[in-house]
């Protein structure tokens, strides 16, 4: 079984400040890792994913995440946030077989203050 | 850019009534999924579907739920007799099916059971 923990339900940040959204996962097998973003009243959009290889993964909108196997973490970072980054961010895992279900964390609401 | 579409965007129904939520996956995708998000909670997997049969289902997906691909384009989720606790946002997703392939999510249908 897999699970995902997002420790911060809300993260307020000033515009142009850096941000880190934390994610830890638990799994007895190797997994793929994802970050999804959900803008208000919209569906889920993939920000980035880790499948294998380099542990630093770059995604859309200037976001990046680092896979740390020993700490079972996959924290999301952005060096300078914008008002448009205001959204809910979900960390997620899936198994490595084709079309595995995605297990989501509870989400972190990122609010950007001008 | 191809996208997953869902109709209706909002469905209001009386407890005990049947509802059908509709999804049009991306045309060359082979795997289809339903997830739901109860207000304020995490996104939860319901069911995956491939080659005209269910691949995997969660504990939530009991006998009240069914899925169907009635033609070459639509993918539906039916709830036979809705309960108050079925009120949620329902997301459809599709993927090509290769290992690590991205699941593309639709904008969701908000189901309100009164």
Residue A95, pLDDT above cutoff 80: yes
For residues A2 and B31, what is the distance between their CA atoms, to the nearest angstrom? 21
* Nearest neighbour of A96 by CB, restricted to B41, B99, B102: B99
Q: Domain A3-113: give its CATH code.
A: 2.60.40.10
pLDDT, tens digit, 9 for 90 and up, residues B1-46:
789 999 999 999 999 999 999 999 999 899 999 999 998 888 999 9
Q: For testing the chain A interface, which of B99, B101, B109 should be mutated: the one with the most A CBs within 10 Å?
A: B99
For residues B88 and B41, what is the distance between their CA atoms, to the nearest angstrom? 10
Q: Is A31 exposed, middle or buried (0-12, 13-18, 19+ CB in 10 A)?
A: buried
- The tokens of A5 are what? 């923990």
Residue A42, pLDDT above cutoff 90: no
Share of chain B above pLDDT 90, in %: 81
Q: Which residues of A touch B30 (CB under 8 A)?
A: 99
Interface touch A104/B108, C-beta < 8 Å:
no
Q: Which residues of B touch A101 (CB under 8 A)?
A: 33, 45, 48, 56, 58
Which residue in chain B is spatially nearest to A50 when comparing CA positions?
Answer: B100
pLDDT, tens digit, 9 for 90 and up, residues B60-114:
999 999 999 988 789 999 999 999 999 999 999 999 877 778 889 999 999 999 9
Confidence at residue B98, expressed as pLDDT on a 0 to 100 scale: 72
Confidence at residue B49, expressed as pLDDT on a 0 to 100 scale: 94
């Amino acid at each position: 079984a897999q699970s995902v923990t997002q420790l911060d339900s809300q993260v307020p940040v000033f515009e142009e400040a850096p941000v880190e959204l934390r994610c830890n996962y638990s799994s007895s097998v190797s997994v793929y890792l994802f970050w999804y973003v959900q803008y208000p009243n919209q569906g889920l959009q993939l920000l980035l994913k880790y499948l294998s290889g380099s542990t630093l993964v770059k995604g859309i909108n200037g976001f990046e995440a680092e896979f740390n196997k020993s700490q079972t973490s996959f924290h999301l970072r952005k060096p300078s946030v914008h008002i448009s980054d205001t959204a809910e961010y979900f960390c997620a895992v899936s198994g490595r077989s084709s079309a595995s279900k995605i297990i989501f964390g509870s989400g972190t609401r990122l609010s950007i203050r001008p | 850019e191809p996208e997953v579409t869902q109709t209706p965007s909002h469905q209001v129904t009386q407890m005990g009534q049947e509802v059908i939520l509709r999804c049009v996956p991306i045309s060359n995708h082979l795997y289809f999924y339903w997830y739901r998000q109860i207000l304020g909670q995490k996104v939860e997997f319901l069911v995956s579907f491939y080659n005209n049969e269910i691949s995997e289902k969660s504990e939530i997906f009991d006998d009240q739920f069914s899925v169907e691909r009635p033609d070459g384009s639509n993918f539906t989720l039916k709830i036979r007799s809705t309960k108050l606790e079925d009120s949620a946002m329902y997301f459809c997703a599709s993927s090509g099916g290769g290992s690590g392939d991205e699941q593309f999510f639709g904008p969701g249908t908000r189901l309100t059971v009164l």
